[in-house]
Amino acid sequence: MTENDLSFEGIPVSPGLVAGPIAHMGAGIEEPSPDERFAGDPASAKELIQAAAAATKADLEFKAASAQGEGREVLTMTAQMAADKTLVKQAAKLVVNEGVSAARAVWVAAGTIAAQLESLGGYMAERTRDVADVRDRIVARLTGQDLPGIPERPEPFILVARDLAPADTALLDPAKVIGIITAEGGPTSHTAILARDLGIPAIVGAGNGVLRNLKANSFVLLDGAKGRVSVNPSVEDMERVAALSRRKAVFNGTGQTKCGHRVQLLGNVGDATSAMAAAAAGAEGVGLFRTEFAFLDEAVEPSHEKQVEAYRAVLAAFPGKKVVVRTLDAGADKPLPFVTDMSEENPALGVRGFRTSWKFPQVLTNQLKALAAAAEMETADVWVMAPMIATMPEADSFVSQCEELGLKTAGIMVEVPSAALTADRLLSRAKFASIGTNDLTQYAMAADRMLGSLAQLSTVWQPGVLALIDVTCKGGAANDAPVGVCGEAAADPALAVVLTGLGVKSLSMTSRALADVAEVLASVTLEECQELAALALTAVDANSAREAVRSRLPILEELGL
Interface contacts to Mg ion, rule CB under 5 A: 415, 436, 439
Partner in contact with 288, chosen from Mg ion, ligand PEP, none, beta carbon below 5 to 8 Å by kind: ligand PEP
Q: Is 550 in the site for ligand PEP (CB under 6 A)?
A: no
Closest to ligand PEP by CB, 141 vs 326, is: 326
Q: Is 411 in the site for ligand PEP (CB under 6 A)?
A: no
CB of 442 to Mg ion, least distance (A): 8
CA 192/CA 260 separation, integer angstroms:
34
CB of 354 to Mg ion, least distance (A): 11
Q: Are 246 and 239 contacting, i.e. CB atoms less than 8 angstroms apart?
A: no
Closest to Mg ion by CB, 168 vs 333, is: 333
For the residues of 437-494, what is the DSSP string, one character each?
HHHHHHHHHT--TT-GGGTTTS-TTSHHHHHHHHHHHHHHHHHT--EEE-SGGGGSHH
Closest to Mg ion by CB, 436 vs 452, is: 436
CB of 334 to ligand PEP, least distance (A): 7
Diameter of the chain measured on Cα atoms: 78
Sole binder of ligand PEP in the list 163, 439, 448, 519 (CB under 6 A): 439
Residue, CB closest to Mg ion: 439
CA 205/CA 188 separation, integer angstroms:
11
Contacts of 312 (CB under 8 A, 6+ apart): 374, 377, 378
CB of 415 to Mg ion, least distance (A): 5
CB of 263 to Mg ion, least distance (A): 21
CA 119/CA 230 separation, integer angstroms:
35
Q: Is 397 in the site for ligand PEP (CB under 6 A)?
A: no
Which of 549, 518, 15, 510 shows the shortest CA–CA distance to 286?
510
First-to-final CA distance of the chain: 30
CB of 313 to Mg ion, least distance (A): 23
Which residues in 487-546 contact ligand PEP (CB under 6 A)? 487
Which residues in 72-111 contact ligand PEP (CB under 6 A)? none
Closest to Mg ion by CB, 394 vs 415, is: 415
Partner in contact with 131, chosen from Mg ion, ligand PEP, none, beta carbon below 5 to 8 Å by kind: none
Q: Is 197 in the site for ligand PEP (CB under 6 A)?
A: no
Contacts of 425 (CB under 8 A, 6+ apart): 392, 475
CB of 270 to ligand PEP, least distance (A): 9
How wide is the angle at C-alpha 202 spanned by C-alphas 205 and 17, nearest 5°?
A: 130
Other Cβ atoms closer than 10 A to 551:
11
Which of 239, 67, 19, 319 shows the shortest CA–CA distance to 168?
67
Q: Are 100 and 79 contacting, i.e. CB atoms less than 8 angstroms apart?
A: no
- Phi-psi domain of 94 (left: phi exceeds 0; alpha: psi -120 through 50; beta: other): alpha
Sole binder of ligand PEP in the list 437, 459, 472, 523 (CB under 6 A): 437
Residue 292 is classified by DSSP as G
CA 511/CA 270 separation, integer angstroms:
12
Partner in contact with 71, chosen from Mg ion, ligand PEP, none, beta carbon below 5 to 8 Å by kind: none
Which of 407, 437, 413, 199 shows the shortest CA–CA distance to 289?
413
Sole binder of ligand PEP in the list 112, 213, 418, 438 (CB under 6 A): 438
Sole binder of ligand PEP in the list 255, 302, 436, 476 (CB under 6 A): 436
CB of 494 to ligand PEP, least distance (A): 18
Partner in contact with 486, chosen from Mg ion, ligand PEP, none, beta carbon below 5 to 8 Å by kind: ligand PEP
CB of 435 to ligand PEP, least distance (A): 7
- Identity of residue 186: G
Q: Is 184 in the site for ligand PEP (CB under 6 A)?
A: no
Which of 233, 164, 171, 242 shows the shortest CA–CA distance to 204?
164
Q: Is 288 in the site for ligand PEP (CB under 6 A)?
A: yes
Closest to ligand PEP by CB, 133 vs 415, is: 415
Q: Are 229 and 8 contacting, i.e. CB atoms less than 8 angstroms apart?
A: yes
Partner in contact with 127, chosen from Mg ion, ligand PEP, none, beta carbon below 5 to 8 Å by kind: none
Q: Please say whether the dihedral angle defined by the alpha carbons of residues 467, 287, 483 and 291, taken in this order, is positive or negative.
A: positive
- Stretch of residues binding ligand PEP (CB under 6 A), selected from 115-123, 251-259, 278-286, 434-442: 434-442
Partner in contact with 437, chosen from Mg ion, ligand PEP, none, beta carbon below 5 to 8 Å by kind: ligand PEP
Closest to ligand PEP by CB, 157 vs 443, is: 443
CA 262/CA 259 separation, integer angstroms:
9
Which residues in 472-491 contact ligand PEP (CB under 6 A)? 486-487
User: What angle separates helix 493-502 from helix 526-537, to the nearest 10 degrees?
Assistant: 100
CA 97/CA 91 separation, integer angstroms:
10
Q: Is 352 in the site for ligand PEP (CB under 6 A)?
A: no
Sole binder of ligand PEP in the list 415, 448, 470, 528 (CB under 6 A): 415
Active-site annotation, residues: 190, 486
Sole binder of ligand PEP in the list 126, 329, 470, 492 (CB under 6 A): 329
- State the Rg of the chain over Cα: 24
Sole binder of ligand PEP in the list 57, 228, 240, 290 (CB under 6 A): 290
Helix, strand or coil for residue 256? strand
CB of 389 to ligand PEP, least distance (A): 12
The footprint of ligand PEP on this chain (CB under 6 A) covers a number of residues equal to 10
Closest to ligand PEP by CB, 73 vs 329, is: 329
CA 450/CA 458 separation, integer angstroms:
9
- Stretch of residues binding ligand PEP (CB under 6 A), selected from 91-99, 302-310, 389-397, 436-444: 436-444
Give contact residues for ligand PEP (rule: CB under 6 A): 288, 290, 329, 415, 436-439, 486-487
